[in-house]
Structure 1
């Protein structure tokens, strides 16, 4: 065996080959970059908190439920400019998961009447509370579009949560989703993919007993009036400084987004705010989006 090992060392160094006995299985060579596909775990069981003072640090968090490319970044920055509202970048809390290192740790948590879902909710709450506390403000506004797919769990995690629904013309959403990365998705693929988010938002609007709806078109046409209505729903006073968003709150966005938001802020100052492009009509509306246009009150 020593001779064979020495021979293989020499062959490997010079040719990259090895000598093996006949019948010895050679394991397949797996590229370093290859990885097993991620396995999505089923949603864990959880219970609604019986005592919010014990189980939750956050009080009355706000969740902005919206599809992709609906203007949620704009609304987030407007709200973040309020002295009492903190709206950070997308936190994707529903993707934070908890696992047990050992069976003993699982049994210990069972003894505390804490399932994996309960532990995840404690983690979500702590992360968001930490972010809010660091801001020094009173309420947090979370705007990750994917939250629409988990609205039931968010509602059960924070029974005192408040929900804001942001709508936009479905065809305008799809168009913007395609233009964001035309090499990644065709116009038709963008429409189908964006429709998943729209349906999730629609289900959330129907499934939640209360909430406040904001339309992107109304926000751009009448920002002050729209924000006054939203502030009233949230129980805070409207602050004119909200229309000066992004200048003093340290919000981090990409240069492209910052330019677009800066152009929109300039329109506010000049009093010439209006929808950035005409609403899609007629043949501009993909057939797959026409039912959602009708459901949301946009003429198809």
Structure 2
């Protein structure tokens, strides 16, 4: 495949629970963008790369097969997309996980006949240097939302941190990386938008985004909730049920009712600088610094682990079942590595 025919890449960055699936399905309504639900290839497999040893032809093919298996087990299927493992190997210019990630998404775009592939694994901001090396013209969309509302959403979700301190830490870490990348990246490749503006003025925001991407705006993009992709995503987990509905324009400021005053102050003590940089107002005095003392933080980490276990006990069985395929693949990879080590 010549470079001329290769689809270009879009990487959405930020923190999950910021409206990223909403943005993804909006973009996926364009014939010019293929934006399947993310299996989070990089964050899943980078910690496992040591199990493959040096990536030569043989081990690289094993890695390709494992990653494709993982994509095929995604809770939201990649409808109409068949991933060809041999094609990935033949089109790899280097043997790296980043190359596999890129070529999988390229296949998705080719299957749809799209100009762009779009990856919604927002934590990929932390691998931006490597992503740029593999896709020099990669465009970034930085989607951000008030971190206190992000925390409210994560507290109810089957994934992610659960204690307000840990949620504040994660949100701040992600936003700081995005802000740093924005300052280091040419404006022709970087677009920032906040969730609050998106849901109040969706057409204006999406038209501006389409202009940035040099694609045609379509009214179908804001009728995303009628699409098969939105329906399939909504059916795959309680976290995504709103994707079957039109945009909820007043879905902001929920933390005022759902977080305690102490939780808001903990979040703001941790995240105050980033909140200010992103122009979100603060609502606490920031004087009770004992809330983030070493002893308090140690307690929060212990509580966070307990809360993560508790959420799994109350999660819908269907949500857990849809994630079982991924968990089994990871168990098989680790078991295979252990067996090879013994032999």
Structure 2: tracts of 5 or more residues without a match: 61-91, 283-343
Q: Which residue of 2 aligns with 1:66?
A: 14
CA distance in 2, matches of 1:143, 1:105: 27
Deviation sequence 1:152-191 (CA, Å, 0-9, x none):
1111211111111111112222222223259962222222
2:210 to 226, 231, 238: 231
1:119 to 79, 95, 112: 95
Cα 1:195/1:175, change in 2 over 3 Å: farther
Contact 1:81–1:249 at 8 Å: present in 2 too? no
| Structure 1 SS opposite 2:143 | strand
1:274 to 241, 244, 249: 249
CA distance in 1, matches of 2:211, 2:200: 19
1:129 to 106, 113, 119: 106
Deviation at 1:206, TM superposition (A): 2.5
Cα 1:276/1:207, change in 2 over 3 Å: same
Cα 1:225/1:205, change in 2 over 3 Å: same
CA-atom RMSD in angstroms = 3.2
Deviation at 1:90, TM superposition (A): 1.0
Deviation sequence 1:1-29 (CA, Å, 0-9, x none):
xxxxxxxxxxxxxxxxxxxxxxxxxxxxx
Cα 1:168/1:103, change in 2 over 3 Å: closer
Q: Which residue of 2 aligns with 1:170?
A: 147
CA distance in 2, matches of 1:184, 1:217: 23
Q: Which residue of 2 aligns with 1:82?
A: 30
Q: Which residue of 1 aligns with 2:122?
A: 145
| Structure 2 SS opposite 1:77 | helix
CA distance in 2, matches of 1:101, 1:150: 19
CA distance in 2, matches of 1:207, 1:127: 27
Cα 1:104/1:299, change in 2 over 3 Å: closer
1:243 aligns with 2:260: no
Cα 1:158/1:172, change in 2 over 3 Å: same
Q: Which residue of 1 aligns with 2:171?
A: 194
Cα 1:182/1:90, change in 2 over 3 Å: closer
| Structure 1 SS opposite 2:207 | helix
| Higher helix fraction (1 or 2) | 2
Q: What TM-score, normalized by structure 1, do the two folds share?
A: 0.67
Q: Number of paired residues?
A: 232
Larger radius of gyration: 1
Cα 1:183/1:247, change in 2 over 3 Å: closer
Q: 86-95 vs 232-241, which deviates more?
A: 86-95
Deviation at 1:249, TM superposition (A): 4.0
Contact 2:146–2:280 at 8 Å: present in 1 too? yes
Contact 1:86–1:137 at 8 Å: present in 2 too? yes
Deviation sequence 1:34-58 (CA, Å, 0-9, x none):
xxxxxxxxxxxxxxxxxx956x973
Q: What TM-score, normalized by structure 2, do the two folds share?
A: 0.59
CA distance in 2, matches of 1:237, 1:124: 27
Contact 1:58–1:128 at 8 Å: present in 2 too? no
Q: Which residue of 1 aligns with 2:198?
A: 219
